[in-house]
Amino acid sequence: MTLHREGKATIFIAILLFVVINTISWYFLFTDYPAIFYLLLLVTAVLLFLIFFFFRIPARNLTVDNNAVVAPCDGKVVVIEEVLADEYFNDRRIQVSIFMSPLNVHSNINPVSGEVVYDQYHKGKYLVAWHPKSSTENERHTNVFKSNGNEVLTKQIAGAMAKRIVNYNKVGQQVQQGSEMGFIKFGSRVDLLLPLNAGIKVKIGDITQGGVTVVANW
């Protein structure tokens, strides 16, 4: 397991605060109030561990299949429905939404191999990620991929705690399935918009692994 590059500054600050807080605590509390010192040490150690845990990138055997759409993130499938597309497309599509809790791996994955034909960032609100309007009103970043004669849209959506969306794709770029699309900090959601003829392979409540779980196929 490695740590994501987007976590370098956060991890550095967290380690610095851990050292400063516990050094001061040891100086003022250890002699007269050892129980408080050890409690504070435990709490700050747990918080530091959670920050490392959040930015983890586990080693995985990724799915590579030109006839498949893989999950763009870890999380729980919360929406599978036919919708009228509100961006790029002007027809009806199948929307699959995956909710990411703060404990999930937050690196986002390119779901297919192909060309990036659309790349757009939108400022917006910070509604909770499972709110029905979060797909259209929250801060978000949209990509569309042309792959194997089909077009797939991904939408990285900020949640109530997520305040930063990172996306590495550019229009005209050729990407590989399973390569890194971006990162969202601290709880969020990713939507997929797929053609109506896509064969959906997940159901509501399923737990996905980014780059591994097959969401749909052609």
**Active site residues per annotation:** 188
Question: Rounded CA gap, 157 and 159, in Å?
Answer: 7
Classify 81 in phi/psi space as left (phi over 0), alpha (psi -120 to 50) or beta.
Answer: beta
Q: How many CB atoms lie within 10 A of CB 73?
A: 29
